Amino acid sequence: MQQKVHQLFADIIDVHYPKSACSACDLRDLWCLPIGLKSEEFHQLDNIINRRKRIKRGEHLYRVGDVFRSLYALRTGFFKTLFISENGQEHVTGFHMTGELLGLDAICNDNHSCNAIALEDSEICEIPFSALENLCREIPALQKQFHKIMSREISRDQGLMVLLSSMNADERLAAFLLNLSQRFGARGYSPHQFQLRMTRGEIGSYLGLKLETISRTLSKFQEDGLISVQNKHLVLNDLARLKRITERTHTNAAPGSAQT
Amino acid sequence: MQQKVHQLFADIIDVHYPKSACSACDLRDLWCLPIGLKSEEFHQLDNIINRRKRIKRGEHLYRVGDVFRSLYALRTGFFKTLFISENGQEHVTGFHMTGELLGLDAICNDNHSCNAIALEDSEICEIPFSALENLCREIPALQKQFHKIMSREISRDQGLMVLLSSMNADERLAAFLLNLSQRFGARGYSPHQFQLRMTRGEIGSYLGLKLETISRTLSKFQEDGLISVQNKHLVLNDLARLKRITERTHTNAAPGSAQT
DNA sequence: CGTTGTGTTGACGTGTTTCAAACTACGTGG
DNA sequence: CCACGTAGTTTGAAACACGTCAACACAACG
């Protein structure tokens, strides 16, 4: 939830990508793999990565059951990942943006257990996993970074578990909007306004709420002057007050053993 | 949710532990690290592991903010892990039993972000993480296994996210009981009856329900003849019917894009 | 310019929480 | 070993937050 993402680079988006090698990739200070590598090591990483595959809006990057061979680094664009349960219902498990790594949940199975679908035209780098493992054995900094990325995914999911098991609709949506804001901010976009790439239904599926509840809560936030919504365009007028909503006290927690 | 755990070893529990080296550890076929190592490699792993630390019931293995140096393999016993939110409320994020690895969420932070508390007298093996990373660079099978364990943790958490965002109280509790049953079964205990190590409140915190709801739902299951509860002792009379409960159709899913 | 997907809003229903009271198991110390 | 206090559990009645169903509005797209 409170990912320590560097807020330092306000210009990574609108530049042109001169080359697409990792060593030239503007994302390397984000949570992408190459963080902290020496230039020599960059080139080793470059060599294993298949660069710049394009995925159009609505297309799948992978599907449930696909053989797992590669991780995917999201270069530009926006993805959702989702499970499909026996009865055919979709459950959105995440929204993913520039610099994030997709496919980590498939390593344990040798095939993918969720679908990844582009919510806007996107570009990804394919990282063959066995080659990455080989390289991790040669480059300790890469190994360390990869472990941190996996661990961070675990932390992120656990944060969402806490949200889902203890927050009401207002709190969930406020936390969701703040999370988007913070991630856009970290990528050089404005944290105060942005386009929602997903539908109300997808937000609801992700937050464990119905789409009507999302719509109503957005309307309420707007009436309260917290935000302004028009279709998918969102303006956050008061980040501090949104934050305060997420911190409201509830009682859906385990009692006992409240040692300090 | 549907972890492919080997059901093959019905005798791992009641034997004595002659030595406690990894190579002699009865857990090595479970999801503990050494799966698939050669005997020579076992000894390398043995050398870095500090064996058989005892944690009494109610004691912490680690706390929020503790510096992260080691992972912990649970040798015998039972743990819960929990977050504490700003307002001091506890949120149980997991229950952990024999053969599982604790502390994976701390790798990304260099300190622990949750508390791990023993729910019964337990024994753990401490695995210094930097030594493990070094060894992973030397032993590909160990590296592969470690990556699978981390990925499996991600899958597990995502399964719980789906549960929390789309299931009602009956379904959550049925899924929870089946999960316990399956994990006890995989460890050579009976999948049909066992002791609950945790309180109703802790189950509720984990499942996003109040303790009263857990109590009521257990009572209802008992009236229906599905289970028998007496305090913490639980008998599952009809696993198939429990399973069917978890598969009931709901509508808390994203609409649209239902391509096959 | 209609069609389809998406969003909004209202009225109503219901599953879960809240609050409260009583009961049971458990551990400690006398 | 019993008495006591504490922690945990059960059950009921009432309140409420969110879901359900339905009607309509709007936008995007071919």
Contact (CB, 8 A) for B246 and B171: yes
Contact (CB, 8 A) for A72 and A98: no
Contact (CB, 8 A) for A167 and A73: no
Q: Write down the pLDDT at residue A1.
A: 40
**A251-CA/C20-C1' distance, Å:** 16
- pLDDT in 10s for each residue of chain A, 260 residues: 433 333 223 233 333 333 467 777 767 666 677 777 888 888 888 888 887 899 999 999 999 999 999 999 999 999 999 999 988 899 999 999 999 999 999 999 999 999 999 999 999 999 999 999 999 999 999 999 999 999 999 999 999 999 999 999 999 999 999 999 999 999 999 999 999 999 999 999 999 999 999 999 999 999 999 999 999 999 999 999 999 999 987 654 444 433 33
Give residues with Cβ within 8 angstroms of A92, minimum separation 6.
A80, A81, A82, A198, A202, A205, A206, B254
Distances (CA, A) of B19 to B10, B16, B70: 20, 9, 22
Considering only CB atoms, which chain B residues are within 8 Å of A117? 257
Q: Which protein residue lies nearest to nucleotide C9, measured between its Cα and the C1' atom? A: A216
Domains observed in chain A: 11-153 (2.60.120.10), 167-252 (1.10.10.10)
Contact (CB, 8 A) for A91 and B165: yes
**What single string gives the DSSP state of each residue in A173-214?**
HHHHHHHHHHHHHHTTS-SSEEE--S-HHHHHHHHTS-HHHH
- Which ranges of chain B have pLDDT less than 50? 1-19, 252-260
Q: Write down the pLDDT at residue B29.
A: 61
pLDDT digits (tens, 9 = 90+) for A90-148: 999 999 999 999 999 999 999 999 999 999 999 999 999 999 999 999 999 999 999 99
For B144, the enclosing helix (H) or strand (E) is helix B140-166
Q: Is B185 on the interface with A (CB under 8 A)?
A: no
Considering only CB atoms, which chain A residues are within 8 Å of B109? 151, 155
Chain B span 192-231 residues with beta carbon within 7 Å of strand C: 208-210, 212-213, 216, 231
Choose among A186, A172, A151, A239: nearest CA to A7: A186
* C-alpha to C-alpha distance for A202 and A210, rounded to whole angstroms: 9
Considering only CB atoms, which chain A residues are within 8 Å of B204? 252, 254
Q: Write down the pLDDT at residue B8.
A: 29
One-letter amino acid at B167 equals M
* C-alpha to C-alpha distance for A134 and B147, rounded to whole angstroms: 13
Q: Write down the pLDDT at residue B9.
A: 31
**B16-CA/D5-C1' distance, Å:** 39
* C-alpha to C-alpha distance for A60 and A47, rounded to whole angstroms: 25
Residue B151 and residue A107: Cβ atoms within 8 Å? yes
Nearest to B151 among A108, A158, A160 (CB): A108
Nearest nt to the CA of B196 via C1' is D8
Q: Which protein residue lies nearest to nucleotide D8, measured between its Cα and the C1' atom? A: B199
Give residues with Cβ within 8 angstroms of A138, minimum separation 6.
A44, B137
- pTM value is 0.89
